[in-house]
Structure 1
Amino acid sequence: MQKNLYHLPVLSTPDLLAFRLFGPGLGNLLFPIARAVVGQKKLGGVMVPPTLRQIKFGTYARREPDKRTYGRLMEHRTMADWNNRFWSLFQRKVAEENFDRDKDESATIVYQGLGNFFHDIKQESAEICGWLVKRSRHKVDFSRCIDISVHVRRGDFLNANGSGANIQIPDEWYIGALQEARKVIGGRNQRCVIFTDGPIDQIKDLSQRLGAEVDASPNALVSLLSMSRGRIIITSRSTFSMWAVFLGDRVAIWDRTFASSGYWPHRPDADLVF
């Protein structure tokens, strides 16, 4: 067991302890958090909860419903959390890739950036999900049965063609993907739930065409954890979708034009394309 070892996710800089300036969306913020959770499990020491609250301007300019400031996603830091954060400041800081477990008995391991996406953590979904559920400010009702989760990403995503991420998927694709999902699941009276960052009026037509209800989770983390409970997940080109599939270890339907291999370790029996 390492002595005085702290695992510190740094989500963006500058990190002013109570809040950060700027920063990406929740899907990308979860990567350093997840690697820190896994690091603490493997090496021992203390996991230091990150500074989640961030100042954003683009979300206000675009009038997005979710301003993505993330200050109320997780429980407030306890006195023990603040104490660990304080003492982590006085340890020698070591980037995760430079940590030497034979030499660095006392250190603050800093986890920052996207790393190798899900390839870094592919065997650790249960550990990471457990940590997120425990820290979530709003508890998730895992007894809710969702047959098909549908992630419709809008917000800052471009409405354009291409194979990369950050691109909206047309409504017609979701309609076809839902038909495929229903074939996979089978049975009747399937419950379909749309999870989206867009305004309700923007997806009203799609929800009616899908015969789906729209998720009413109080924040993005609860939405993510709830989406992960779907028996099958129809994804967007988004790491947020990937997190839901990963945390729930679910069957997923992906847009066949989305080149996801750089982010995602392909699962032959669980990753379907349409």
Structure 2
Amino acid sequence: MDSVHIDLNADVGEGIETEEDYMPFLSSCSIACGGHYGDHESMRKSMMLAKHFGVRIGAHPSYPDKENFGRKVMEIDFSALEQSIVDQLEAFKSVMEEENMELNHIKAHGALYNKAAEDAVTAHVFIDACNRVFEDYLLYVPFNSVMESVALERGVHFMNEAFGDRAYNASGLLVKRSKSGAVLQNPLDILMQIENIALHHQVKTKGGKTIEMQGETFCIHGDNPNAKDVLHYLRTAWEQNEQIRVV
């Protein structure tokens, strides 16, 4: 069997002091740009680390809600939401250009990511904002989501993202973090979930059902306390069996 090539990403620039430890295992990263966390200096720090380790960079805009770390849906006017996303992307672009780096992708954060996966208006607003700042870009989107459909409709390049360390519902959406078992901790469980998606295009849900799932880029959350150990485990396993190559 030929090797399957995947991208391995993490969300960074979110105040996690161990970022330097796990950055070498990634092929791309999504950098918080002020909505849920971050400022110019935190973005610069993450970009410099990414540059040092040869990791591709992406912008990670959110609801403008640092109080809840962008993990709750905000009651916000759509025009205000669009402007907030534009402001975040422009801040990211400014630092990126100062560091002479190139954009790889854009990925919504937290509740905004989940809302755009289900709600067409939010998905359109998100793309409208991206279009105001970047002429050409790649979106990381959930498989078979409203966000994917809107990206297709509007001719926006996208890559399906799946999660190695999050449990899925039968709907194909992520189990809410407030629920027991929403975050996977065991490195072997994470390895098996990624391989099942990458090699067999399916995932086992929290309820035990097997559903279709596609993924070209896989996220391991940097705020997971054992992110470095998980990523090291994954890369070591794939170096040995060669079924999956991180590129």
Fold shared per TM-score above 0.5 = no
TM-score when normalising by structure 2? 0.31
Name the larger-Rg structure. Answer: 1
Compare relative contact order (CA 8 Å, sep 6+) and give the higher one, 1 or 2: 2
> Which structure is higher in helix share?
2
TM-score when normalising by structure 1? 0.29
